[in-house]
Amino acid sequence: MSERIETELGLLPKDWDLVPLGDLLYIKGRIGWKGLKKSEYIQEGYAIINGEQIKNDEVNWATVGRIPKERYDESPEIMLQQDDILMTKDGTIGKIAYVDKLPEPATVASGVFVIRQNSEKLNQRYLYNYFRSHFFKHLIKSRTEGSVIPHLYQRDFKEMLIPLPNPKEQETIADTLFSISRKIKNLESTNETLYNLANIIFEENIKLDNESDNSISTEIGLIPSNWQVVKLIDCLTILIDNRGKTPVYVDEGIPALSAKFVKGGEIIRQHQMNYVSQELWEASEKLQERDIIMTSEAPLGELYFVLGNTNYYPAQRVYTLRTDKAILPSEYLYLWLNSRYGKYLVSRRGSGSTVQGIKQSELKLVEVLIPDEKTIERLTPIFQDIFKKRQINFDEIKTLKHLRKTLLPRLLSGEIRLD
C-alpha cells in the first residue's frame, strides 16, 4: 500500500493531487432572464429537464417537459451531451443524474446545472462518483444547514477540492463503481419486467364481463358460473391494523414501515425509516412471509408482498393482510388487489376529498373474485416463481448497494488502491 498523508480532506495517497474543482469543470445553468414560464411549455417539442425528473441518479425521460425550438436554440451552453452530469441547485439541492444515454435533444430548466469535465486530468465518470461521495455531501450539508432557501451557486465549486489520482486510476475506480451500478440497474429492470409480466398474465386470465352460456351476474359483473365473489375479510386469517397507534421511536431497533415507504411493489428509501424498540416489536403481531402490506391512505392502495426480510413494524397508514391459504394463494390476492378491478373496488369504498383513504370496516367488504380450482392450480406456480425470482433479485440489489456504498469512500480516499 502506498504512503498516505494528512490533507485538508483527510488521509490521501501521497501521489494524489488536491485540485480546486473550478480549474477542471465546465458548469452551466439557465441564465435568469432566459427563465421559462409554465405557459411556454408545449405538448410536443424539445425536452427540458427539471429537478423533479432527476431521481435515483438518473433522468426520468418519460416525464420531461417540452419547449419550442427557438427556446431550445437560444441556450447552446446547456444543450445536453452524452455523459453530462446534471445537478439540482434549488430546492432539494445536490440530486444528480448521469446522462449515459441521450435519447433526444434536451436542455435543462433554471434549477439544474449541466456539468462536464473541462480538463484531461479529470475523468467524467470519476467526477460523477466524487459527487456521490462524502466529500461533496459535506459541501451540500454546509449549504443547507440554517438556510431558509438552500441554493447552490457556481462559485461554490470554485475552491472546492477534489482528490485526483492519475487518469488511469481514475478510470479504474470509475469502471469498478459503474460496473456495480450497471448490475443494480439490470436487476431493477429485470424486476420491473417480472412485475409487469405477473400483472399481464393475471389480467389475461382473470376477466370480468365475458358473456357466455355459463356466465352469471354478480355485484362486480359477469363471471363464469364456477367462479365466486367473496368479501376480502373472508379470505384472511389476520388483518393487522396499527393505525392510530403512533409508536415511540428510538435510535436503533426495528424499522417502522409506513405508507410513504411502499411504492410500486417495493419498499423504498429504507434509510429514512424510523425505528421502534425491540420490546414493542416483540409484543406485536409480527409479519410473516407472503403477508401483503397495503397502504390505507396517502396514497391509497400501494402494495408490497413480504418475502425474505420480515423484520418490520407495520406503522402509520398501512394494513397487513394475511391470506387464508385454504381459500386462495397470497400471490393471487396480491395480484387481484393490484389489478384494475381490485384497484377500482378498493377506491370506490374509499373516502376523503383531498386525501383518499379507506377504513378497516370498508376494506373488509372489498370484493374478491375467486376462480375455479383448476385455474388457481394452473396459475399459482407461475406467480410463485415470478415472486421468488423478484425477491432473489431484491436481495442481490441490496448486497450490491451495500458494496457500492462501502467501496465508494474507500476508493475515493485511496484507502483501497486499484492497480
**Which cell numbers in the block locate residue 120?**
484531461
Q: Tell me how far apart the alpha carbons of residues 312 and 257 are, in angstroms, rounded to a whole number.
A: 6
Containing structural domain, residue 88: 17-164
**Which cell numbers in the block locate residue 313?**
413494524
In this structure, are 76 and 216 located in the same domain?
A: no
**Which cell numbers in the block locate residue 354?**
383531498
In this structure, are 143 and 87 located in the same domain?
A: yes
Domain contains 235: yes
Asked whether the beta carbons of 14 and 168 are under 8 A apart, the reply is: no
In this structure, are 244 and 341 located in the same domain?
A: yes
In this structure, are 356 and 218 located in the same domain?
A: yes
Angle at 126 between CA 125 and CA 128, to 5 degrees: 60
User: 106, 140, 164: which is the final residue of a domain?
Assistant: 164
Query: Per DSSP, which regions of 214-309 are E strands?
Result: 215-218, 221-224, 228-231, 236-241, 249-250, 254-257, 262-263, 266-267, 275-276, 292-296, 300-305
Domain contains 333: yes
DSSP 182-201: HHHHHHHHHHHHHHHHHHHH
Domain contains 393: no
CATH number at residue 303: 3.90.220.20
Place of cell 408482498: 305
Residue type, 151: H
In this structure, are 100 and 212 located in the same domain?
A: no
Task: From first to last of the 419 residues of the chain, give the pLDDT tens digit.
Answer: 578 999 988 899 999 999 999 889 999 998 876 678 888 899 999 999 999 999 888 999 999 999 999 999 999 999 999 999 999 998 888 899 999 999 999 999 989 999 999 999 999 999 999 999 988 888 777 766 666 677 888 888 888 889 999 999 999 999 999 999 999 999 999 999 999 999 999 999 998 877 777 889 999 999 999 999 999 999 999 999 998 888 999 999 999 999 999 998 999 988 899 999 999 999 999 999 999 999 999 899 999 999 989 999 999 899 999 999 999 999 999 999 999 999 999 999 998 877 889 999 999 999 999 999 999 999 999 999 999 999 999 999 999 999 999 999 999 999 999 87
In this structure, are 224 and 289 located in the same domain?
A: yes
**Backbone CA torsion sign across 312, 314, 315, 317:** positive
Residue type, 240: I
In this structure, are 256 and 338 located in the same domain?
A: yes
Q: Per the structure, how many domains does the chain have? A: 2
Helix (H) or strand (E) holding 25: strand 25-29
Rg of the Cα atoms in the chain: 26
**Backbone CA torsion sign across 367, 373, 379, 380:** positive
pTM of the predicted protein model:
0.86
Q: Tell me how far apart the alpha carbons of residues 407 and 79 are, in angstroms, rounded to a whole number.
A: 33
**Which cell numbers in the block locate residue 216?**
352469471
